[in-house]
Amino acid sequence: MTHTLKFAGLVLLTLVTVSACHKKPKDEAAPGAPPVVAAPMSFAKSDADVDVRLSLPDPIKLYPELHARLYQEGVATLTAFIDQARKDHAQNSSDGFIEPPYSHAIDWKISAQSERLVSLFAEEDDFQGGAHPNHTFQTLLWDKTGKDLLSASHLFAPGADFKPINSYVCRQIEAARSKRAGEPITQGGSGFACPKFAESRLILLPSVQTGKIGAIGALYAPYDVGPYAEGAYEIHVPQAMLTGLIAPEFASQFGGEAVKAEALAKPVSKP
C-alpha cells in the first residue's frame, strides 16, 4: 500500500511539473492574435457643408495610450461637429439662406518634456458662421510614470500663494498689449480682468538644462484677457519664480532658465 501511494504521488508531481512547463505567461500574445495597430496621426473630412481636420505631433508615437486617446477624442469631437454642420446647412438651405462651410481644426503640439512629464497644447479654430472664426486652446499634461493624464493643479503645492505670480502675469499682458498698440494700455483699460495664473491654460516650457522644465506658460485665447482683435497672449513664468509653489513630488522636474522660444510661434519639443 505504501509503495502504491508513493508511485501515485510521483505521477501527480510529474503531471503538475509538465503542466507548469507548458503554461504560457499571461502577457504572451495568443497565436494568430493581430498586432497592435497604432492610431493614425491625422483625420480630415471635407465637403460642401463642412471642413474638419485633426493633427497630432510625431513624438506622440512614444506614448501609445495618449496617442490613441487624443485621436479617438478628436475624431469624436469632429464627427459630432460634422453632423451638426450638415443639420444647420440643411435647415438654412430650406429657409433660403446660403452660407459658407463650417470648419473646425484641432492641431496638437508638444511644448516640452521632462523625465516624467509631457506637456501638450492644441490650437483650435472653429467657424460656424458669423464675422470670424473662434480661436481657443486645450492644454494637457501626461504623466509618463502613471501613463495617464495629470491635472495641472497637481503641479502646485497645496495652499500655494499665487498673488505675486498673478500680478506678474497681469503686468506681462499689459506690456505685450502696449507693445502691440504702440501706447500704454492697462488691463483695467482693456475692460478685461487680470487672470488667475493657476486657473489658466498652462503649458510647460523646456529648459536649457536637458530634461528639465524652465518655465510654465499660460495661453490666453482671444476674449480671455482682451478683445478678439488683440489675438492670443502667451505669458511665461520662469521656474525660479515658482520656487516653493511647485509640489515636492514634481520639484525635480524643474531647473535652469527657459529656452527662449514662443510655443505658439514655433513649438519646441525636447525629449
Of the chain, the percentage scoring pLDDT greater than 90 comes to 76
Question: What pLDDT is stored for residue 13 in this prediction?
Answer: 39
Question: What pLDDT is stored for residue 31 in this prediction?
Answer: 59
- CA–CA gap between residue 128 and residue 89 (Å, rounded): 10
Question: What pLDDT is stored for residue 34 in this prediction?
Answer: 60
The overall average pLDDT reported for the chain is: 88
Strand order in the sheet with 50-55: 42-46, 50-55, 102-113, 117-127, 134-143, 148-149
- What pTM, to 2 d.p., does this model score? 0.83
- CA–CA gap between residue 210 and residue 219 (Å, rounded): 24
- CA–CA gap between residue 97 and residue 14 (Å, rounded): 82
List pLDDT tens digits, range 104-163.
Answer: 999 999 999 999 999 999 999 999 988 889 999 999 999 999 999 999 999 999 999 999
List pLDDT tens digits, range 52-90.
Answer: 999 999 999 999 999 999 999 999 999 999 999 999 999
pLDDT higher than threshold 70 for residue 268: no
Side chain identity, residue 2: T
List pLDDT tens digits, range 227-260.
Answer: 999 999 999 999 999 999 999 999 999 999 999 8
Q: Where do the domains of the chain lie?
A: 42-88+98-149, 152-253
Q: What's the average model confidence in pLDDT over 198-209?
A: 98
Say yes or no: domain 42-88+98-149 is CATH 3.30.565.40: yes
Which pLDDT band holds residue 4 (cuts at 50, 70, 90)? very low
How is domain 152-253 classified at the CATH fold level?
Actin; Chain A, domain 4 (3.90.640)
